[in-house]
Each structure stands twice: as structure tokens, then as C-alpha cells.
Amino acid sequence: MDFFASPDHPDPKFKSFLEDACSSLCNWISSTNQKGPLPLLFDLPEVEPCLDGLPPEQLLEDLQQLMSGSYHSSHPGALAHLDPPPLTGSIIGELICAGLNNNLLAEELSPSITKLERSLCKWIAGKLGMPSTSGGVSTSGGSLANLMALLVARSNSQLLYDSDAVVLVSEEAHVSITRAISVMGLPPEAVREILTDDDGRIDMRSLKEQFAKIKSHGKKCFAVVATAGTTVRGAIDPLAEISEFCKVENLWLHVDAAIGGVFALSTSTKNLVADLSKANSVTVNPQKLLGITKTSSLLLVAHLEDLFKCFSTGFPYIEPSSEFQFQGGEIGLQGSRPAEIIKLWIGLKQLGQKGIQLLLEESLSRKQSLFEKLDCRKLKLITGPLHLIAVTPRYATNVEADHWSLSTKARLLESNFMLSRPKYHRRHYLKAVMGNPHTKISHIEELSDILNQSI
């Protein structure tokens, strides 16, 4: 059986399999600029396993074919989504994570990595300014972190079994919030929408009005959801005012900082998200900007025990943790969990404080350059303090904007720029996420020329 690496001695076949796979990956990444961000035509290799297993050479051929049809996040024109190129350290972290095959379900299945997860979450929560009781857990993606946050918020209130309970949610919140509320068994009316202002931030007057309405109808609210970095324009809600309001009304404040949370990691950008410190729970998604390979997300809470109180079921088939009051499988929805924390930890260590700062600052300055080069007499630009910007023709009907966005997106793809086409307030925009470190000023000039000439 050559399927498993020998536990007795360094296995030469495994080693050469790894080396060949690594060179194939290196070649794939290094050929990125010969193509566009999106593959044009591709065939899928045979899906079903054949009777006899395949040798490494043929497995690598199949993988190569799959890679030929893959999206190139390292292409400098790949600006559509929150999917930056992967850090090399994070790729290695992912490989080691697979090779160790530890399980964050329980300390006995991941002794060192369980400790790493607790320590790193606490460190990041500290960077966000959260209290010394804070901590967190890694989750497979921001959507799951948001769902878990709302479950914790509800279990912390007296409304766990109240089917009339509602949540106050910004109209610009990510779709994962409404989905979370729906899978929590609450009806659509449980989502009470708060209007935003012209900058896409929660309008405090609307928040207060909605809350008063809820009270006057005899309903109870268990959380307010704010966002630090909205999906289309990167707006940051007025967190200080919202948290004041939540304190007075005794409401849980969850901040979806999937996009903005990482800005707290550098001294030069942390003021952008300073008030994350006031939240009861925060979603942070380092996969979206720092180049940590997917998925990498954290749910951080002001009191780590709140996670345990919400999710603990007891583990009759697992030894209690020797060091911690609870196991990694008792502080979230997932049971078995991969050691995803490794690639976050090693990625941050590879960057160092200076590298983190550089990545964050450069993403902001790329956005600023694009903003300045776009012709705002022809284009309406919407953005916020972060690295996202979206554009639409200034003078056009919604139908015309729809046609413009389709044809301009296609025109951009011909020049190897990939932007996304979100619908925002009933109108189509083209959105650029300027977090790609391979995007240089010459690319930004070419991109802005195409956009300016598109009208």
C-alpha cells in the first residue's frame, strides 16, 4: 500500500510526490500573467475513481487539468472579489495542516494547535481592543461566524425560545445575516432593517425609530448587527454611537468585521476600526485581504465563556481537556475542525508587523489612486474608508446602468481586468477590490482609462 506515507522512515515516494506537486503549483502560479484572471475554455478530468488507483504522475496530470480551469487570484487584474493571492507562508501552513490532520474538536486530537488557536484568537481580540475575558474560535468562513454570533446573542438573551424575537440589521449587512436569522427558525419579519445614510452607514435615527417600533408592538430584540466594511463599498457603521445605544437598551452588538477587522492589526490603520473594542462579538475574516488561504475566519467574543454557554453539549466520548475548561468542539457549531488556524498564524508571522501594515496601507492607497483617476463627472463613485470602490454611470437610468455594467465588464475582461457587478440600491455597479498586491500603478491607469472611456 503506497497510499500512506511510511511512519517508519522518510518515504521517498511521498517526498517526490510532494516535490512534483509543489513544482506543478509553482508553475501554475508563475504562469498567471500569461493569461487573464479567468480561464476561457477547460475540460474537467474524469470524476469517478477507476478500478485501480492512479499513480502519482497521473494524479498530478488530473490536478494539472483542474488547475487549468481555475481562477487566478494572483493575476494583477483579479479585482472582482475579496479573494486576494495566497501568501506563500499560508500555502505551506495549509499543506502542513493537511499533513498533520489534527482535529480542533478536542485537545487530545490537537494538543499544540488547540493552545495555538486559543492564544491567537486572544491576541487578535486584544488587537481589536476587546477585554481580557475575550477570546474566540476559528470558523470555516465569515457566514458561519455570523450565524454563530447570532446564536450566542440569542442564547445570552431571555429570548431563546421566543419565536417573536427580532434582530436589528443594517440594510447594507451581508446576506449571511438574513440567512442566519432564517436558519435560526425565525420568520422574515424578524429581520428589522435599519436604513443607511448617503455613505452607506447605519443611520442612528432609523435605528432608534425601528427599536421604538419594535417595543411599541410588544416585540423583543436580541441583537443589533453592524458592519465594519460593507460588501459593496467598504463602509464602516458608527460603532461608538451604536454601542452606546446597545448598552442603554441592553442589546447585544455583533459587528460583522469580515472585511474591516484586519485593519485593527496595524498601528497605522487601527483607528479606522477603533470601536470594534465595544462589540459583544466580532467576525473577522483574514482570508479576505491578508492572503490567508481559504477558509480563514474567526468569531471573537468579549467573554469566551459565552461561546461555551451557547454551544456546549458535553462530550461523553472525549477526554476532558487537561488545560482548558472546554474543548474546541464545544465553542462553536462545527464538530471536527481542521487546524485552519495554522495558516493564519504562520501567514501573520511571515508578514510580520511591517508586512501586515504594508499590505493594509497599500490596499488603501491603490483604492485612493483609482478613485483619483476616475472621472467623477461621468461616473458616480461609491466608497468608504477601506479598499473597496464601486462605480456606475452618473447620468443613466437603472436599465442603462445594467447594460453598461454588462458590456463594460466584458470589455474589461478582454483587457484582463476582472471586476464584479453587484446590484446596490436597485442599480448595477462595477466593483473593484483593491487588495491585490500585484496590482501596480500602471494597471490602475489602464483600468481607469477603460472605465472613463466606457461612457
Interface with ligand PLP by CB under 6 A: which residues?
Answer: 82, 141-143, 146, 174, 176, 227, 229, 231, 256, 258-259, 285, 297
**Closest among 446, 455, 408 to 429, alpha carbons compared:** 408
C-beta closer to ligand PLP: residue 176 or 392 = 176
C-beta closer to ligand PLP: residue 203 or 256 = 256
CB of 247 to ligand PLP, least distance (A): 24
Check: CB of residue 132 under 8 Å from CB of residue 302: no
Phi-psi bin for 426: left (phi > 0), alpha (psi -120 to 50), beta?
A: left
C-beta closer to ligand PLP: residue 170 or 210 = 170
CB of 296 to ligand PLP, least distance (A): 9
CB of 386 to ligand PLP, least distance (A): 11
Give the three cell numbers for residue 112.
Answer: 499544540
CB of 215 to ligand PLP, least distance (A): 28
| DSSP-derived secondary structure for 441-453 | HHHHHHHHHHHHH
CB of 143 to ligand PLP, least distance (A): 3
Phi-psi bin for 427: left (phi > 0), alpha (psi -120 to 50), beta?
A: beta
Cis check for the bond before 408: say yes or no (omega within 30 of 0): no
| 424-to-201, 353, 382, 408, 430 alpha-carbon distances in Å | 14, 35, 10, 17, 10
C-beta closer to ligand PLP: residue 277 or 285 = 285
C-beta closer to ligand PLP: residue 143 or 454 = 143
Instruction: Select the residue whose beta carbon is closest to ligand PLP and give its number.
Output: 142
C-beta closer to ligand PLP: residue 146 or 280 = 146
Q: Which helix (H) or strand (E) holds 308?
A: helix 304-311
Check: CB of residue 228 under 8 Å from CB of residue 237: yes
Give the three cell numbers for residue 125.
Answer: 481580540
Long-range Cβ contact pairs of 63-68 (< 8 A, separation 24 or more): 63/21, 63/24, 64/24, 64/28, 67/24, 67/25, 67/28, 68/39, 68/42
C-beta closer to ligand PLP: residue 233 or 278 = 233
Check: CB of residue 330 under 8 Å from CB of residue 315: yes
CB of 387 to ligand PLP, least distance (A): 13
**Closest among 305, 333, 304, 329 to 315, alpha carbons compared:** 329
C-beta closer to ligand PLP: residue 134 or 297 = 297
Check: CB of residue 277 under 8 Å from CB of residue 303: no
C-beta closer to ligand PLP: residue 117 or 237 = 237
C-beta closer to ligand PLP: residue 106 or 344 = 344
CB of 65 to ligand PLP, least distance (A): 27
Measured distance CA(269)–CA(264) in Å, rounded: 6
Give the three cell numbers for residue 60.
Answer: 498530478
Check: CB of residue 224 under 8 Å from CB of residue 181: no
Q: Looking at this protein, which amino acid is placed at residue 173? A: A
Measured distance CA(173)–CA(192) in Å, rounded: 12
CB of 358 to ligand PLP, least distance (A): 23
CB of 139 to ligand PLP, least distance (A): 9
CB of 431 to ligand PLP, least distance (A): 11
Q: Looking at this protein, which amino acid is placed at residue 235? A: A
